[in-house]
Structures are given as C-alpha cells and as structure tokens.
C-alpha cells in the first residue's frame, strides 16, 4: 500500500475533529485541497487559527469581536428588562433568527450535570443572579432545552432568584410543520398539558 505524506495525514486527522466529518470525508476534503493554490490554503489555515482570538461578551457570554457582543452593545436592547437564559451560542442564534425576541440574553454554557462535574459554579449561576439584579430585570425566560438535566437546571435557577421575579420557561408542544403521528408520547403529553383556549 502506498505511504501517504505526513502533511496529508495531519490534515486528515485535523479535519476529523470537526462535527460530522469522518475519516473518509476528511480525506476527500484534503485530496481536493491538494489542488488549491498555496494562497487559498494559507487563508483557510489562518481563518481557523484566528478563532483563538475570539472573545466572549463580558456580559452575556456570547462570542464577540470586542468586549461586548452586538446585542449587549445595542442601546435599544440594553434597556430591555427581559432576560433570556440559554445553554449556548447556537441556541442564542436560533432564538435570534426567529426575530421575535428583543431583550437580552445570558449564556450559561450548559446544564447542571453532577455526574460530569457541572455544578452551579461551572455555569456561573451566581453571576446570572447578580446580573439580573444589577440590570433590574423584571422577567426571566428560561430557554433551556427539555431534558432531565435541563429541567433540574431550570428548577435550580428559579430557586436562587427572588420570589417576586417573573420567571418563565419556553413552551413545549407540537413543532410547527410537525405531525402528531410521528411525535413521541412525551411531546404529545406536553402538548396536551399546554393546550390553550381556542
């Protein structure tokens, strides 16, 4: 069998770390890259290395060019009194894409998971509580995904916040475009519980 150059092997190994990229896909990518101009290869390499320079917003934890992300730096949104708590940047972007939330966000970076050693300190839940009081937040929306750990995280966050504060969790039920026929019993149960007068 032919012996491949080290640079090829290294590039394949590096690309397999990306989500959804196995060895075969990575190899196909690298093979096509061998036909690229040096300039293009340098650009891709530099663009990925440059992610090390990515900063976190000092307020919400979203990634940012500067000290603050564009939501926290937005004057119109800074005055918002509604704070949406999300697990990660992808979830934040999904909500932002829906275009119907004009408040502030707070990324906690995960959910409570004692088995993996993720406790309230790792999620910075004290900082969340401090931010809520500093910013005079009047409503907290917990946009935490539904799971055992997610439910526990919501319960814990609620327990450390002032009783008077309005705390809500996003609604669960049948997704738009979904079909009852193909949904799991848990979602159907939630959809029935969350029915609304029509």
By CB under 8 A, name the binding residues for a second copy: 1-3, 5-8, 10-11, 13-15, 17-21, 25, 28-34, 36, 38, 40-55, 62-65, 69-71, 89-90, 92-93, 96-97, 99
- 139 forms beta bridges with 82, 166
CB of 128 to a second copy, least distance (A): 19
Taking alpha carbons only, the member of 126, 131, 123 closest to residue 150 is: 123
Q: Least CB distance from residue 106 to a second copy, whole Å?
A: 14
Give the DSSP letter of residue 113: B
What minimum distance in Å lies between the beta carbon of 100 and a second copy? 12
Would you call 128 helix, strand, or coil by DSSP? Answer: helix
Instruction: Between 53 and 171, name the residue whose CB sits nearer to a second copy.
Output: 53
Q: Is the dihedral of CA 100, 156, 56, 87 positive or negative?
A: negative
Beta strands in the chain (DSSP E): 55-56, 63-64, 82-86, 104-107, 139-143, 166-169
**Least Å from the CB of residue 82 to a second copy:** 16
Which residue, 92 or 167, is less far from a second copy as judged by CB?
92
Shortest distance, CB of residue 168 to a second copy, whole angstroms?
22
Question: Please, which residue, 25 or 187, has the CB nearer to a second copy?
Answer: 25
Nearer to a second copy, 89 or 165 (CB): 89
Choice between 19 and 162, CB closer to a second copy: 19
CA 16 to each of CA 10, 24, 91: distance values in angstroms, whole numbers, following the listed order? 10, 9, 24
Three-class SS of residue 192? helix
């Amino acid at each position: 069998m032919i012996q491949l150059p080290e640079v090829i092997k290294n590039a394949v190994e590096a690309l397999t770390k990306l989500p959804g990229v196995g060895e075969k896909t990575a190899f196909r990518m690298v093979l096509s890259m061998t036909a690229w101009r040096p300039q293009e290869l340098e650009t891709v390499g530099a663009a990925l290395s440059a992610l090390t320079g990515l900063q976190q917003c000092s307020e919400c934890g979203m990634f940012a060019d500067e000290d603050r992300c564009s939501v926290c730096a937005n004057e119109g949104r800074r005055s918002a009194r509604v704070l949406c708590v999300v697990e990660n940047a992808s979830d934040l972007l999904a909500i932002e894409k829906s275009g119907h939330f004009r408040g502030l966000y707070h990324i906690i970076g995960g959910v409570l998971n004692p088995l993996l050693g993720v406790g309230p300190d790792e999620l910075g839940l004290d900082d969340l509580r401090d931010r809520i009081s500093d910013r005079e937040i009047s409503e907290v929306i917990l946009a935490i995904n539904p799971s055992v750990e997610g439910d526990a995280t919501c319960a814990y966050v609620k327990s450390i916040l002032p009783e008077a504060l309005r705390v809500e969790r996003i609604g669960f039920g049948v997704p738009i475009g979904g079909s009852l026929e193909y949904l799991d019993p848990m979602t159907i149960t939630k959809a029935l519980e969350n029915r609304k007068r029509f």
